[in-house]
Chains A and B, each alone.
Chain A
Amino acid sequence: MSLTLSEAESRRIVSSHGVVVSPFVTGRSTDEVITALADHPEVGYPVVAKLCGRAIAHKTERGLVRLQIVDEASLRSATDELLAAARPDDGDVEVLVSTMMAGNRELIVGLNDDPQFGMTIMVGVGGVLAEAIRDVSFRLVPISEADAVEMVDDLTTQSLLREFRGEPAVDRGALTDTLLALSRVATEVPGVCSADLNPLILVDGRPVAVDALLEIDGEEDSP
């Protein structure tokens, strides 16, 4: 059996291994969310609010994501609505509030346990067309820095990584650091069977994960 950790849990784990995630707070009630936000001024408006929990896999499809929230009043009503939308079988839920990140380019980075090759790591062109374009590069975990550099070089759509629509070229060092950090997640966190950092938005050329999902071997009460 495997279980999917909540976005908040996933973010904490990947972040503790060096993946840069958008600043966020969580709370189980609207008041908790507002208090947490006051304690974390780095999470600035506009924000996005999401209902998250281990049993909630498809937040967007269920309308559990609220974008472009600009002030506290809107955040309060959004949080109230999200908590009210929770169903009994969603289990433990909380609201995650994170800064909206601005960037035109999206990548996807992830882990996948391959039946032939074991744990693999991937970088690819993200966004809604990702599965149509399939511009991806895989390696076997763990990777070295040279491997990470070559993974990025192997992407066909290099033009996306250069200066683009007024945004600077991707910081390749920061991108390879993200790959190395996720490789460490695979080797250091027991029982990881998959991970998605999707999307990884390029903010001024630097990759920032605005969603994270980690799938772990084991039962509901772990890790």
Chain B
Amino acid sequence: MTPDLSKLFDPKGIIITGVSNHPGKFGFVTLHNLIVAGYHGALFPVGREPGEVLGRDVLGSIDDVPEGAADMVFICTPQAVNEDLLRAAAAKGVTAAFFAAAGYREAGPEGVEAERRLVTLADELGIALAGPNGQGVVSTPSSMCAQIVAPYAPAGNIAVASQSGNFVSAFLNLAHHTGVGISRAVAAGNAAVLGIADYLEWFTDDPETAVSLVYIESVDDGRAMFERLRPLAERKPIVVVKGGASAAGARAAASHTGALASDDSVFDGMCRQAGLIRARDVEEAFEAAATLATQPLPNGNRVVVVTTAGGWGVAAMDAMAGTTLHAAPLPHDLEAAVDELLPPRWSKNNPIDMAGGETRDTVPAILELAAAHPDVDAVVFLGLGIQSGTAAMMRAGEFYPEHGLERIVAFHERQDSRYAEAAAEISAETGTPIVVATELATAHPDNPGPATMRANGRVCHSSAGRAVRSLDLLARHAAWRRAREL
């Protein structure tokens, strides 16, 4: 049965234990983060020294919390006192607990015993137990940042569950960077009760979530995990990045097959079979999730590359080698239609290299032609922001705004914003994914091209290779679905 995690992600009130005036302590930081992120519900800080912290009254005991006012408790107190605190919270109507507190399984034999007792107690009290030894939980629909560290994240529909708290932070930082937001994020900590599969089950039912993103380091029962995740992946995409993938992990085996098995090859096969979208690293995982969250799946693997200048197109073609993507020759009618819009020096092939021949409406028009063509399954658009780069130099130079520079700078910047908007609108209209890449996304994120992408909540990849890789993961997942008639 799927545990009900609604009180963990959308509680009406939160009790925070271990709150003091010390701004370096977890209780203080958690209260601070909850207030600053604008949490919708009621906060009940509890500490040993009653008084005021961050303008909030600190209660001396959980007994002072009004009956039924909180349904989640966030535990940052030493291990020895936490069982009593959990009982007191349960008596007030709490049904979910996040244990940031350490001193459990990670802390030696005594901690193992404490964790065992905690699990039994939570079960007796009917409490959904997250952690212990985890960094916290984020939920943007409730504006909740119940974490002992930063950051919070923009709202969106990617849900994160991680066996490492650092990677929760990494994904939230990448959400800030790309503008593609987060619905929920949770660090599993020691996962004494709730593990990655439990969170994924809940995310799959969660209307605020479109795609799940998980970081996994260890798998206890791989077969059970496979059996649980496969039906989930059929319903909502799950992107997986695995730590420890390089460990040889070859098994001692009598058979040749056994000698050829390694942890990673078997895990990889499991992912392919279950329809889990496996990424190589954290950045690739986030960008795949961000693309899945905002773009339609391609109907096949035929890709048209559209570029304002040559080299980027070549890089995209190179990146497609070794993927499932295929840069097919341009369909004749598409070539003819593009030819109407560009001076004769354009490439007349795939990639569509405009060779700088575009005028005011050319880029959106070509994106539309390519994306709407029945023999094109996806479009890669490169060269966004180049004109605004020129504009930025003009704006910064001593001749601005004279010599007609003000007008041309405004035109260039407007154009790049328009291209970014067109890419989003056309992919939504046509049902064809359009991935966009420029190094300006990281080199000059304020350039109006990538800045508009970010403002519209769409990822702007920092290279053609990364855009192609995200698209390949989408295409592979789409093929997995088609092969199973999903």
Least Cβ distance of B276 to chain A in Å?
A: 12
Q: In the complex, are the beta carbons of A136 and B483 less than 8 A apart?
A: no
Residue of B nearest to A145 (CB): B483
Q: Which residues of B contact A65 (CB under 8 A)?
A: none
Contact with B along A34-77 (1 / 0, CB 8 A): 00000000000000000000000100000000000000000000
- B56 lies within 8 A of chain A by Cβ: no
Complex formed: what's the CA distance from A4 to B222 in Å? 26
Contact with A along B254-270 (1 / 0, CB 8 A): 11111111110111111
Q: Which residues of A contact B32 (CB under 8 A)?
A: none
Contact with A along B269-302 (1 / 0, CB 8 A): 1101100000000000000000000000000000
Complex formed: what's the CA distance from A108 to B269 in Å? 16
Contact with B along A138-174 (1 / 0, CB 8 A): 1110011011011100100000000000000000000
Q: In the complex, are the beta carbons of B273 and A130 less than 8 A apart?
A: no
- B167 lies within 8 A of chain A by Cβ: no
Q: Which residues of A contact B254 (CB under 8 A)?
A: 4, 57, 194, 215
Complex formed: what's the CA distance from A118 to B222 in Å? 8
Q: Beyond A114-B222, A116-B222, A117-B226, is A195–B255 a contact (Cβ under 8 Å)?
A: yes
- B219 lies within 8 A of chain A by Cβ: yes
Return the contact of B258 from the options A137, A144, A194 (Cβ within 8 A): A194
Least Cβ distance of A146 to chain B in Å?
A: 4
- A100 lies within 8 A of chain B by Cβ: no
- A120 lies within 8 A of chain B by Cβ: yes
- B398 lies within 8 A of chain A by Cβ: no
Residue of B nearest to A150 (CB): B272
Return the contact of B223 from the options A117, A151, A194, A196 (Cβ within 8 A): A117
Residue of B nearest to A118 (CB): B223
- B84 lies within 8 A of chain A by Cβ: no
For A, the interface residue count at a CB cutoff of 8 angstroms equals: 37
- A28 lies within 8 A of chain B by Cβ: no
Least Cβ distance of A121 to chain B in Å?
A: 8
Q: In the complex, are the beta carbons of B226 and A140 less than 8 A apart?
A: yes
Contact with B along A192-223 (1 / 0, CB 8 A): 00111010000000000000010100000000
Complex formed: what's the CA distance from A118 to B483 in Å? 24
Complex formed: what's the CA distance from A143 to B258 in Å? 18
Q: Which residues of B contact A140 (CB under 8 A)?
A: 223, 226, 269-270, 273
- A122 lies within 8 A of chain B by Cβ: yes
Q: In the complex, are the beta carbons of A146 and B222 less than 8 A apart?
A: no
Q: In the complex, are the beta carbons of A122 and B272 less than 8 A apart?
A: no
Complex formed: what's the CA distance from A109 to B272 in Å? 18
Q: Which residues of B contact A195 (CB under 8 A)?
A: 255, 257
Residue of B nearest to A4 (CB): B254
- A131 lies within 8 A of chain B by Cβ: yes
Q: In the complex, are the beta carbons of A112 and B255 less than 8 A apart?
A: yes
- B253 lies within 8 A of chain A by Cβ: yes
Q: In the complex, are the beta carbons of B255 and A146 less than 8 A apart?
A: no
Q: Which residues of B contact A151 (CB under 8 A)?
A: 269
- B117 lies within 8 A of chain A by Cβ: no
Least Cβ distance of B442 to chain A in Å?
A: 31
Q: Which residues of B contact A150 (CB under 8 A)?
A: 272-273, 480, 483
Q: In the complex, are the beta carbons of A130 and B260 less than 8 A apart?
A: yes
- A111 lies within 8 A of chain B by Cβ: yes
Complex formed: what's the CA distance from A84 to B313 in Å? 69
Least Cβ distance of A185 to chain B in Å?
A: 13
- B340 lies within 8 A of chain A by Cβ: no
Complex formed: what's the CA distance from A134 to B259 in Å? 10
In this complex, which of B219, B267, B483 has the most chain A Cβ atoms within 10 angstroms of its Cβ? B483
Q: In the complex, are the beta carbons of A196 and B269 less than 8 A apart?
A: no
Complex formed: what's the CA distance from A120 to B261 in Å? 9
- A115 lies within 8 A of chain B by Cβ: yes
Q: In the complex, are the beta carbons of A116 and B266 less than 8 A apart?
A: yes
Return the contact of A146 from the options B221, B257, B259, B484 (Cβ within 8 A): B484
Q: In the complex, are the beta carbons of A116 and B256 less than 8 A apart?
A: no
Least Cβ distance of B233 to chain A in Å?
A: 14
Q: Which residues of B contact A109 (CB under 8 A)?
A: 257
Q: Beyond A143-B273, A215-B254, is A116–B221 a contact (Cβ under 8 Å)?
A: yes
- B251 lies within 8 A of chain A by Cβ: yes
- A124 lies within 8 A of chain B by Cβ: yes
Complex formed: what's the CA distance from A136 to B251 in Å? 15
Q: Which residues of B contact A23 (CB under 8 A)?
A: none
Residue of A nearest to B219 (CB): A116
Complex formed: what's the CA distance from A157 to B219 in Å? 29
Q: Which residues of B contact A122 (CB under 8 A)?
A: 257, 260-261
Chosen A-B contacts, 25 in total, with CB atoms closer than 8 Å, are A108-B257, A110-B256, A111-B257, A114-B222, A116-B219, A116-B263, A117-B222, A117-B266, A118-B222, A134-B260, A134-B265, A137-B272, A138-B266, A138-B269, A140-B226, A140-B269, A140-B270, A146-B483, A150-B273, A150-B483, A154-B269, A194-B257, A196-B256, A215-B254, A215-B255
- Of all A-B residue pairs in the complex, the 9 with the closest CB atoms, nearest first, are A110-B257, A138-B269, A116-B222, A117-B222, A146-B483, A194-B255, A118-B223, A112-B257, A112-B258
